[in-house]
Amino acid sequence: MGKVTGFKEFDRRTQDYRPIELRLKDYGEIFSGIHDNAHLQKQGARCMDCGVPFCQSENGCPVNNLIPEWNDLVYHNKWQEALTRLHKTNNFPEFTGRVCPAPCEGSCVLGLNNSAVTIKNIEQAIVDKGFEKGWIQPTKIAHRTGKKVAIIGSGPAGLAAAAEINKLGHNATVFERSDRIGGLLMYGIPNMKLGKDIVKRRVNLLKNSGVEFITNVDVGKDISVAQLQNNFDALVFTTGATHARDLPVDNRDAQGVHLALEYLTKSTQSLLDTGSANNSKLSAKDKDVIVIGGGDTGTDCIGTAIRQGAKSIVNFELMGKPSARREDNNPWPLWPLIYRVDYGHAEAQKVFGKDPRQYHLMTKSFIKDKSGKVAGLNTVNVDFKNGQLIERKGSEKTWNAQLVLLSMGFVSPEHYLSDDANIELDKRGNYQAKYGEYTTSKQGIFAAGDCRRGQSLVVWAINEGRGVAQKVNQYLKK
């Protein structure tokens, strides 16, 4: 695929983000939005005839994107055909092309002794060109079955399930407890990484294809599962894993200690409601901010806090600093656990003169002032030995902070919906349903995405949304 000698002739070169000094002035996407055809054709040419394309295997792409095929089509300047191949496996490449960490690139065969193909850049360019050229239009449904399916949760799994169920001719209705459709895509990921106009554009396409959306309805509270069962032929739970991991240390009740998702949600709501995330009640303006926990969510907190005018930002990591290269216990084609500098880290480096991350740090307690507000926290350095956490003697330290954001991942879905439905949970507290089958312990109720598998990637949510749609279709045909 691509040019036979392309990987020898052309070096990997990703498309640049907007310059930091410009993008920090707004909440617009960090991406330049400029797709250079000639440059992308060269990058597509680097896709080698590797025989077994691990990029589209489970280690690479959970939705099994036909990556070598659309790389080759881009190399030959056949963009519309490339879009057709891309949409064949992925309902929302404009989302994954922006927010997916690209495990496909970690599994690229070329990455064994060279730099991987810029798969993510090419994917985003294909779908962006598709919208620009008007090639992406609402789906026309030739026949309706009369069957009705309720989907609870409008994140990527719910949207993918709705899209596929609708294509199969069934009537799909998506219930969302928030005021806007999109779930994690709308409120869990800040605008600079995924523009909300991008989300709304796809939602409008689904509406115009026949999917119904109902907001501000919290199933399990505002309306019961039993009521939905009386009105729908099948239910699909795609609520996500929104029960965040907390930090139960002394003075956790201090004002100003918040879960990361709460902070990001309020910031995005403020941006959409008032035109500025700086108007959020949880603004970081003029505050010493500490983000506890890394990953994408931690980075998003950093990027948001910088734009709100934080006085300082420190990011605590419990683990040590990753190596620059793969360790022996992390071989290809597994996802490379290496040191990376994401957009928020680069922005903090520019603004504050250093990387915000501090490693081997464990928070022991929060500090409250006389009014009950957080004033700082106490930490100790730790090491892992034989699977045990060992505190370093004499490493205690006190940090100033007026805003602390907990970004330590999620443990499970919230349980009021599963309690109302009376479905069984697995050992981790997720809705129990076998992968590939998606059936819960109650007939006619299915579960997919993070609420079933635990916190994961957007691309896995799309995989499960597509999969559950097929199982619902089989159930409705019985």
Residue 429 confidence (pLDDT): 98
Residue 478 confidence (pLDDT): 84
Residue 57 confidence (pLDDT): 86
Mean of the pLDDT values across residues 112-123? 95
Q: Which of 454, 438, 411, 459 is nearest to 151 (CA)?
A: 438
- What CATH code is assigned to 246-408? 3.50.50.60
| Cβ count within 10 A of residue 339 | 11
**β 148-152/171-175 pair status:** parallel
Residues 6+ positions from 262 with CB-CB distance below 8 Å: 282
pLDDT tens digit sequence for 241-269:
999 999 999 999 999 999 999 999 999 99
Residue 58 has pLDDT above 80, yes or no: no
Q: Are 288 and 269 in contact (CB under 8 A)?
A: no
Residue 27 confidence (pLDDT): 96
> 148-242+411-476, which class in CATH?
alpha beta
Mean of the pLDDT values across residues 53-74? 93
Residue percentage of the chain with pLDDT more than 90:
95
Residue 387 confidence (pLDDT): 85
Residue percentage of the chain with pLDDT more than 70:
100
Residue 1 has pLDDT above 80, yes or no: no
Q: How confident is the model at residue 59 (pLDDT cuts 50, 70, 90)?
A: confident
What is the value of pTM for the model shown?
0.96
Q: What is the mean pLDDT of the chain?
A: 96
Residue 51 confidence (pLDDT): 87
Compute φ and ψ for 170, nearest 5 degrees: -85, 160
> 6-132, which class in CATH?
mainly alpha
For the chain, what is the largest distance between any 2 Cα atoms, rounded to a whole number of angstroms?
71
Domains 148-242+411-476 and 246-408 share a fold: yes
Going from N- to C-terminal start, the domains of the chain cover 6-132, 148-242+411-476, 246-408
